[in-house]
Structure 1
Amino acid sequence: MSISLARVEAFLFRAEVKEPVKTSFGSIPLRSVLLLRVEDTDGAHGWGEVWCNFPPFSADNKMRLLETVICPAALSSTYLDPADAWHTLTARTHRWALQGAEPGPFAACLGGLDLALWDLTARRENKTLRALLNTQQALDAVPAYASGLNPDTAPETVARCREGGFRAYKVKVAFGADKDTRVVSSLAKDLRAGERLMVDANQGWDLVEARRMVPRLGAFGLGWIEEPIAADRPLSEWAELALLSPVALAGGENVMGYEGFSGLIGDGYHGVVQPDMLKWGGVTGAYAVGRRAVMAGRSYCPHWLGSGVGLLAAAQVLAAVGGPGMLEHDVMENPLREALGQPFPRVTNGAFPLPDGPGLGVEPDLQRSEEWLVTRAEYRAPKR
């Protein structure tokens, strides 16, 4: 059954938080969410989300891209399926992205649109997204870890998350050798049986510093060390760190394109592959990358830091891929996360249960989220 879109709605939300997300590249003082709602000519609908957590106001630019070029292009054609739409629109907008020097924002908008089309298709067929992707066997729950831990408040956050059902945690590092070592040592010492600890440097070290810190922090028995150096550093640097590290290296959220991920998986320096489907590729790209990563013996742990729509998308794709892998579950303050993904699943004994409803299995509560709504726009297909 083909897809012929009648309209696309975009909703931009922004919420103030008391504790910003703290990373080695800077802080995220606001939580922004850009949602898409697509509707076909038969009235079926689906939800998507566009990556926009950094810089803090990057969502405003993406709203304009949707309005001026992407939605008009998407609404002017009929597609065989969501993958056909993603490939078609990626090709059609390629020169525009180059001309505007904005391949990242274009890819993020197309990734969010791709998710919405997959959600629409699954709802139309009355299947969960994971069942639509994997008709043979898909998981009904996926392992999850608490992400985004601020090193300044990490012990308290771990205690809160442990109480909330988590059994794995990831703390931010690359704030100085002494501070990193002190925080990781303290958290590792207090882990309980069966719990895991990971660290995320957010590309925060150069090679000289990474040579020192990767072995030092890895000695605490970490699950992985994420993005110790910039994602675009030469393979020789990743190769060296992979040999120096006593634990797996992780990355992928800042990689784009099939060729980029094929190289990352094939080179073997990343034991943990972490694409962000709403930065690049949508469900179409992420599912392909996830399957390939697992086939190559890697762990597939999709990256996400946004609302419940994107979180459920990452969970559904991970469930379709299978394992090994874990779901990244942001646990820092964000009122939009749960309000925009109802009913919101709760982690239990380290696992994130997936809803049985069609598509993503959740709906944004627009009434509950109205106080954070900044902009809403609607785009309609031309008369055919």
Structure 2
Amino acid sequence: MSINIARIEAFLFRAEVSEPVKTSFGSIPRRSVLLIRVEDRDGVHGWGEIWCNFPPFSADNKIRLFETVICPAALSGSYVDPADAWHTLTVRTHRWAIQGAEPGPFAACLGGLDLALWDLTARREKKTLRSLLSSGQTSSTVGAYASGLNPDTACETVARCREAGFRAFKVKVAFGAEMDSRVVSTLARDLRPGERLMVDANQGWDLSEARRSVPRLGAFGLEWIEEPIPADRPQSEWAELALLSPVPLAGGENVMGYDAFATLINNGHHGIVQPDMLKWGGVTGAFAVGRRAVASGRSYCPHWLGSGIGLLAAAQVLSAVGGPGMLEHDVMENPLREALAQPFPRVKDGVFPLPEAPGLGVEPDLKASADWLVTRAEYRASK
């Protein structure tokens, strides 16, 4: 059965928070979420999310790009399946992305649309997204870790997350050698049996600083060190750090394209592969990358920092891929995360339970989220 899109809606939400997310590249002082709802001619719908957490107002640009360029292109075609739609629209918008010098925003918009079409298709076939993707048995739970921890409040956040059911935690680093060592040593010392600790430098070190920091922090028995250097640095630099590090290196959230991911996996410097499906590729790209990573002996740990729609998408794809990996679960203040994905699953004993309802298994509570709604737009196919 082909996909014929009849209507697309876009919803931009924004919520102020008391504690910004702090990273080596800057802070995220407010939480923005850009959701899209796609409906076919039979009235079946699906939800998607467009990555927009940084810069703080990047969602405003993306919703205009989506309504003026992506929607007209999407509404004008008929597609065999979601993958066909993503490939077709990627080719169709390729020159536009180059001309506008915006390959990232274009990829994010197409990734969100791809997710919505996969959710729609799974709902239409009355299957969970994970069962639609995988021909084999899929797990109803995935391992999860608490992400986004600020270094200055990490101890308090770990205590809160431990109480909430998490058994693995990732803290931000690259704030200076003294602070990094103090925070990581304190958290590592206080871990309980079975708990794990990771760090994320957010591309915050140059090679000379990474040469010092990676061995020093890795000595604390970390599960991985994430993005020690910028994602686009030469493979020779990643190779050197992989040899220097006593623990695996992680990355992939800032990588785009099948060729780039194939190179990353084949080179073997990343033990943990972390594509962000809503930055590039959608479900179509992430599922392919995840399977390749696991088949090559790597762990697949999808990146996500947004609302519950994107979180559930990452969890469903992780389950479908199978193999080693954990779900990144942002735990910093964000009222939109749960309100926009109901009923919201709760972590228990370190695992995230997946809904049994069709598609993603959740629906945004638009009524409860009305106070955070900034912009809503609607687009319909011509009859």
How far is 1:82 from its partner? 0.1
> RMSD of the TM alignment (CA)?
0.3
Report Cα offsets for 1:215-236 as digits up to 9, x if no partner: 0000000000000000000000
Q: Does 1:374 align with 2:357?
A: no
Q: Does 1:69 align with 2:69?
A: yes
Report Cα offsets for 1:39-71 as digits up to 9, x if no partner: 000000000000000000000111111111100
Per the alignment, residue 244 of structure 1 pairs with 244
Per the alignment, residue 202 of structure 2 pairs with 202
Q: Does 1:223 align with 2:220?
A: no
Which segments of structure 1 move beyond 2 Å, counting only runs of 4 or more? none
Per the alignment, residue 94 of structure 1 pairs with 94
Q: Secondary structure at the match of 1:8?
A: strand
Q: What is the alpha-carbon distance in structure 2 between the residues aligned to residue 265 and residue 10 of structure 1? A: 35
Per the alignment, residue 83 of structure 2 pairs with 83
Pairing 1:1-384 to 2, within 5 Å after superposition: 1-383=1-383
Q: What is the alpha-carbon distance in structure 2 between the residues aligned to residue 369 and residue 264 of structure 1? A: 39
Q: What is the alpha-carbon distance in structure 1 between the residues aligned to residue 181 and residue 381 of structure 2? A: 56
How far is 1:353 from its partner? 0.3
How far is 1:330 from its partner? 0.1
How far is 1:139 from its partner? 1.0
- The amino acid that maps onto 2:282 is G
- The amino acid that maps onto 1:204 is G
Q: Secondary structure at the match of 1:291?
A: helix
Q: Secondary structure at the match of 1:152?
A: helix
Q: Secondary structure at the match of 1:266?
A: helix
Q: TM-score, normalised by structure 1?
A: 1.00
Q: TM-score, normalised by structure 2?
A: 1.00
Report Cα offsets for 1:229-264 as digits up to 9, x if no partner: 000000000000000000000000000000010000
Q: What is the alpha-carbon distance in structure 2 between the residues aligned to residue 299 and residue 338 of structure 1? A: 27
Gaps of 5+ in 1: none
Q: What is the alpha-carbon distance in structure 2 between the residues aligned to residue 52 and residue 172 of structure 1? A: 20
Q: What is the alpha-carbon distance in structure 1 between the residues aligned to residue 309 and residue 67 of structure 2? A: 21
Q: Secondary structure at the match of 2:266?
A: helix
How far is 1:135 from its partner? 2.3
Q: Secondary structure at the match of 2:152?
A: coil
Report Cα offsets for 1:122-170 as digits up to 9, x if no partner: 0000000000000211111000000000000000000000000000000
Report Cα offsets for 1:325-377 as digits up to 9, x if no partner: 00000000000000000000000000000000000000000000000000000
How far is 1:382 from its partner? 1.2
- The amino acid that maps onto 1:310 is G
Gaps of 5+ in 2: none
Q: What is the alpha-carbon distance in structure 1 between the residues aligned to residue 124 and residue 277 of structure 2? A: 22
Aligned residues: 383
Percent identity reads 83
